[in-house]
Chain A
Amino acid sequence: MKTFGGPVLFLDRSDINTDEIIPAKYLTEMDKEALGPHLLEDLKLEGFSVNGSWRGSARVVVTRANFGCGSSREHAPWALEVNSITCVIAEGYARIFRQNMFNGGMLAVELAKTAIDELFAIAKNGAVSCSIDLDAKTFAFSWDGGSKAVPFTLAEFDEALVRAGGWVEFADVKY
């Protein structure tokens, strides 16, 4: 199973697409590691710096609705993975992106808009870190001067994929 949790990167926009997460021109790469430096290279988001302090430190992304829309490229979750970002928390996802995350044993968790709004409000206080208890299905967010526990749910299948380390491992045993 992968490890989860750490500093949070907040991306305050809906509909962030897979071309923004990893541009198509890098799709000729067959080595996942090579995608690393290009993560979020084409992201259109005010105040976001592609080489900001998040790079190298962020382990969790918190964002808005329809994250990962667009192409089916699993290069998008891979680009996150090779940057050690193994958990995304959003209001919602494009289906293929969400499935790709779980298929690779990573987390793509949905929270209600009100909960996401609250997290963005917390982010105004400065750096936020998130630890993840998969058994208790709880995120623990902490920041300078406060902390907050947020429960989440996972479909049984998605949890099984995370625990198995991914869909290839799961399917290989079963089918």
Chain B
Amino acid sequence: MGKTITEKIFEAHLRDVPFAGTNVLSIDVVMCHEITTPVAIVDLQRRGKDRVFDPLKIKAVIDHVTPAKDSQSAMQAKVMRAWAGRHRLPDFFDVGRNGVCHALFPEKGFIRPGYTVIMGDSHTCTHGAFGAFAAGVGTTDLEVGILKGVCAFRRPGSVRVNLNGNMRRGVYAKDAILTVINTLTVNGATDQVIEFRGDAVDAMSMEERMTLCNMAVEAGGTCGVCMPDAVTAGYLWPFIAGAYPSKKAAVDDFNKWHSDPDAVYARTVDIEVSAMEPSATFGYKPDQVRPVREMPDIKIDQVYIGSCTNGRISDLRAAAEIVKGTKLASGVRGIVVPATPLVYRQAMDEGLLAVFMEAGYCIANPTCGACLGMSTGVLAEGEVCASTTNRNFNGRMGRGGMVHLMSPATAAASGIRGKLTDPREVMR
């Protein structure tokens, strides 16, 4: 019987099976941010165990509320900073070098095919785009990860999602993942890894694959995963060039992680992407998804373009193409948050920031900010946001606010009309 990529990664990292069904894995990368890590740090200190298992395998960033917005967030940052300093963590990213974790860490080349990755953040599933097993965990798992470099998992099954065909104009990876969540429902993949396969996935860039895997957890998935291939090798090449004689050699090596043709899946779902339309969520659950053209009268107060889902350079390009030469509808606020300093810099060099500014957008510094309702565009009671983020929970972007999740193109188009708008209506 064949194995899935996840089963292969589990086997290669298995440290212990303390009880039947419990797999303690050794972890290749433990990622940390300032919301969930400081409590772990303080607890380790309290226990007299303020150690790290391997400073090279810990990657840390201050990203959720940065620069600090108040004394409490300043204190969280201070705890992180002091901890990173005392353990001499070479990969710690503070103000000026920091960006949203799931965009920043891939950009630095920290994730490789076959890796195990944990972070105290549910969207850690993003990194499965590289053919890794990457799972969000709580602070206690993170604490043990920092101290021992291990984490326990039930062995997840896999749900195979085949995305076939060519996406039409105006349809993006975000529309694809919203459709997948709508199909699987919010807990349809609980305790499962979502394996994204099919020619549409093969054709996607790493950035698009990250958008896809980012929202696996919104269907309950432990991780999203794509087969590592030439696209993966191309993206990672600046970081792995020393390890392989050629890109082809890297791709050949990555093949060892591919799911076997006779691997067993808990469920297989086939989705034809050529039939997809620009889509958005309604309501407070990410599986409540509909084509945008079926929601013609939803007025918006704010457009938010950013986050670990859609704050990368390709996202800003897609939005800027639509925004170019237009203005935000009167009464609509627009906020663009490049996910990392590199994305910010590229957007500046390519003139994208100027495009947004001319349309009336505010450009914020890289941070999670309004995505989780902490800063940089929190909604007031009754306000509505066209957002490229990944969660539309009640209160997520501010108490009483309503968030509609969509692609950067759809968000940009909605900004022009002041209501949810199918981007094809305004595309040139």
Seen from chain A, the residues whose Cβ lies within 8 Å of a Cβ on chain B are 15, 17, 19-20, 23-25, 27-30, 32, 42, 44, 65-66, 69-74, 77, 92-96, 99-100, 103-104, 155-157, 160, 166-168, 171-172, 174-175
Contact = CB atoms under 8 A, between A and B. Distances in A.
A20 B395 contact: yes
Given A42-B399, A72-B137, A160-B18, A175 B148 contact: yes
A139 B419 CA distance: 51
Interface of B: 15-16, 18-22, 24, 35-36, 38-39, 42-43, 47, 49, 64-65, 70, 72-73, 75-76, 79, 120-122, 124, 136-141, 143-144, 147-148, 150, 152, 154, 186-187, 190-191, 220, 222, 284-285, 372-374, 391, 393-396, 399
Given A94-B190, A96-B137, A74 B393 contact: no
Contact of A168 (B19, B21, B43, B76): B43
Contacts of A174: 16, 18
Nearest to B141: A103
A136 to B, nearest CB: 20
A72 B191 contact: no
Contacts, number: 148
Contacts of A72: 36, 120-122, 124, 136-138
The 7 A-B residue pairs with the shortest CB-CB distance in the complex, in nearest-first order: A100-B138, A74-B138, A103-B140, A28-B72, A156-B19, A66-B187, A157-B22
A95 B154 CA distance: 10
Contacts of A167: 140-141, 144, 152
Contact of B73 (A28, A73, A74): A28
B393 A30 contact: no
B396 A24 contact: yes
Given A30-B79, A69-B186, A167-B152, A96 B18 contact: no
A27 B33 CA distance: 12
Contacts of B21: 155-157
A73 B141 CA distance: 11
A94 B36 CA distance: 18
Given A30-B76, A74-B140, A155-B19, A19 B190 contact: no
A168 B36 contact: no
Contacts of A29: 72
A27 B65 CA distance: 10
A167 B20 CA distance: 17
B82 to A, nearest CB: 13
B74 to A, nearest CB: 9
B399 A73 contact: no
